[in-house]
């Protein structure tokens, strides 16, 4: 096969390749990155002849080889305040794994130390393709918004711009890159001069989520009387996801409405929410059973979210597939997911506006909105995501590597020195 020919990832006649994912953002219980990586591995094993190597932080050093699936965990400490995540800083151990297994393509889902380890490995092993996934808008989420409360808006904005500059320098070294939505990352990265970027949306198990899973018994168990509204949220209960904002907005709703709030998930704010002892607010914790999650979503009336920096919004699409209108904030990927036909968006961190939008949706026609939302969600399938990844983005990354390899040596050496 010449380098100009399209690369067919699904062909059983071409070379067997090893695809590697190395990430800091790994959780054994849920999480967007973890969900994506599990579906990706399943897709490789069930539809392709290739192998998959996954390098993630864990409680101990361990290598598990199961035919074409290799899972490497590297002992890492827990992230303070996020017990389901760990901080992988042992780049030497990652280098050893990469040198041992020699992957053909490495994909990184965060922007910290691990991408530089992958870049170093590719420099020592010409022919390795590098792909980056922009899963978290960290300059805004972890720098600008929290710093604004401490050092003020101007300095926080400057720090955020510095981080975006860093992203531009980092991602320019990759052969391919994707964001999960236009407003959830691609537009910002393009403004940095990154032109090797595409949108590859995550998928949703559309067959698992449907209005047909609505269960009146669940509503009765929660103590919802008559046709009163049930507001639902699914995700981490922490500051980043703005869980407290949902509670604040809920408390601003008229008591006579009889509304209830169901917060599905775990996190550092759950204990304080439960301690409120409000019979209208329910926080059952993390739900591992997908069918139970689908039942809870379908039994609601409106999905609510205060998260300002979604890069995709899996839970939003799952709610829409369940037939729910969405009330959220006009920022990040939520702008790509919600229109006035299927919900309402308001200012960031504004509980009053969130409460007003909940009332506006409830007093209009939430059922009709939910039907449109369900139709909107059907475009997001894992088949589509994997087709975009293996049928478009990865082939382009490989072709760039092959094109580099075909350059005269006098052109290649300065390029490596510059990197």
Q: What is the CATH number of the domain that holds 160?
A: 3.40.50.2000
What local confidence, expressed as pLDDT, does residue 253 receive? 97
What local confidence, expressed as pLDDT, does residue 409 receive? 53
What local confidence, expressed as pLDDT, does residue 412 receive? 44
Is residue 8 in a domain?
no
Is 261 in the same domain as 404?
A: no
305 lies in which domain range?
211-377
For 245, the enclosing helix (H) or strand (E) is helix 243-251
What local confidence, expressed as pLDDT, does residue 372 receive? 95
3 state DSSP class of 126: coil
Is residue 180 in a domain?
yes
Is residue 261 in a domain?
yes
How many other β-carbons are positioned within 10 Å of the β-carbon of residue 301? 24
What local confidence, expressed as pLDDT, does residue 24 receive? 93
Is 73 in the same domain as 113?
A: yes
Is residue 238 in a domain?
yes
User: Dihedral through CA 412, CA 414, CA 415, CA 419, nearest 10?
Assistant: 140
Is 41 in the same domain as 171?
A: yes
Is 232 in the same domain as 369?
A: yes
Is 414 in the same domain as 307?
A: no
Is residue 11 in a domain?
no
What local confidence, expressed as pLDDT, does residue 4 receive? 44
What local confidence, expressed as pLDDT, does residue 301 receive? 96
Q: Each residue's pLDDT tens digit in the chain (419 positions)?
A: 334 445 677 776 778 999 999 999 898 776 789 989 999 999 999 999 999 999 999 999 999 999 999 999 999 999 887 778 899 999 999 999 999 999 999 999 999 999 999 999 999 999 999 999 999 888 887 888 788 888 888 898 899 889 999 999 999 999 999 999 888 788 888 888 888 899 999 888 888 899 999 999 999 999 998 889 999 999 989 888 899 999 999 999 999 999 999 999 998 899 999 999 999 999 999 888 889 999 999 999 999 999 988 888 889 999 999 999 999 999 888 898 899 999 999 999 999 999 999 999 999 999 999 999 999 998 898 999 999 999 999 999 999 999 888 876 544 444 444 43
Angle at 299 between CA 296 and CA 305, to 5 degrees: 65
Is 368 in the same domain as 225?
A: yes
Is 60 in the same domain as 126?
A: yes
Is 94 in the same domain as 145?
A: yes
Q: How far apart, in Å, do the first and last CA atoms of the chain sit?
A: 29
Is 262 in the same domain as 141?
A: no
Domain count of the fold of the chain: 2
Is residue 125 in a domain?
yes
Is residue 34 in a domain?
yes
Is 39 in the same domain as 171?
A: yes
Is 263 in the same domain as 243?
A: yes
Which distant-in-sequence residues (6+ apart) come within 8 Å of 162 by Cβ? none
- Report the distance separating Cα 231 and Cα 367, nearest Å: 14
Is residue 7 in a domain?
no
Is 361 in the same domain as 222?
A: yes
């Amino acid at each position: 096969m010449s380098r100009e020919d399209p690369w067919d990832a699904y062909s059983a006649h071409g070379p067997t390749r090893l695809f590697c994912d190395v990430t800091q953002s790994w959780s054994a219980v849920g999480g967007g990155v973890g969900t994506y990586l599990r579906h990706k591995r399943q897709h490789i094993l069930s539809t392709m002849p290739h192998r998959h190597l996954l390098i993630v932080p864990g409680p101990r050093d361990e290598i598990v080889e199961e035919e074409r699936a290799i899972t490497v965990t590297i002992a890492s400490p827990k992230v303070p305040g996020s017990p389901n995540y760990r901080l992988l800083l042992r780049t030497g151990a990652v280098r050893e794994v990469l040198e041992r297994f020699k992957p053909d393509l490495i994909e990184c889902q965060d922007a910290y130390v691990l991408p530089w380890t992958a870049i170093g490995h590719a420099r020592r092993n010409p022919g390795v393709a590098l792909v980056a996934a922009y899963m978290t808008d960290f300059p805004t989420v972890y720098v600008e918004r929290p710093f604004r409360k401490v050092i003020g808006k101007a300095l926080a904005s400057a720090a955020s711009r510095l981080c975006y500059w860093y992203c531009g320098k980092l991602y320019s070294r990759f052969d391919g890159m994707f964001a999960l939505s236009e407003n959830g990352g691609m537009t910002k990265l393009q403004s940095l001069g990154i032109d090797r970027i595409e949108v590859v949306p995550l998928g949703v198990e559309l067959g698992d989520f449907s209005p047909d899973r609505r269960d009146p018994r669940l509503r009765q168990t929660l103590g919802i009387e008559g046709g009163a509204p049930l507001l639902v949220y699914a995700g981490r209960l922490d500051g980043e996801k703005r869980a407290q904002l949902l509670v604040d907005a809920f408390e601003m709703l008229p008591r006579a409405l009889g509304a209830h709030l169901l917060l599905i998930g775990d996190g550092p704010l759950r204990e304080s929410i439960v301690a409120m002892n409000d019979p209208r607010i329910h926080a059952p914790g993390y739900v591992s059973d997908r069918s139970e999650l689908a039942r809870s979503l379908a039994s609601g009336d409106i999905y609510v979210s205060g998260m300002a920096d979604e890069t995709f919004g899996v839970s939003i699409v799952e709610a829409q597939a369940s037939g729910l209108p969405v009330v959220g904030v006009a920022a990040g990927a939520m702008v790509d997911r919600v229109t006035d036909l299927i919900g309402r968006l308001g200012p960031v961190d504004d509980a009053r506006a969130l409460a007003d939008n909940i009332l506006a949706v409830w007093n209009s026609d939430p059922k009709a909105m939910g039907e449109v939302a369900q139709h909107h969600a059907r475009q997001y399938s894992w088949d589509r995501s994997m087709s975009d990844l293996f049928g478009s983005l990865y082939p382009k990354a490989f072709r760039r590597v092959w094109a580099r390899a075909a350059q005269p040596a006098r052109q290649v050496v300065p390029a490596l020195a510059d990197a």
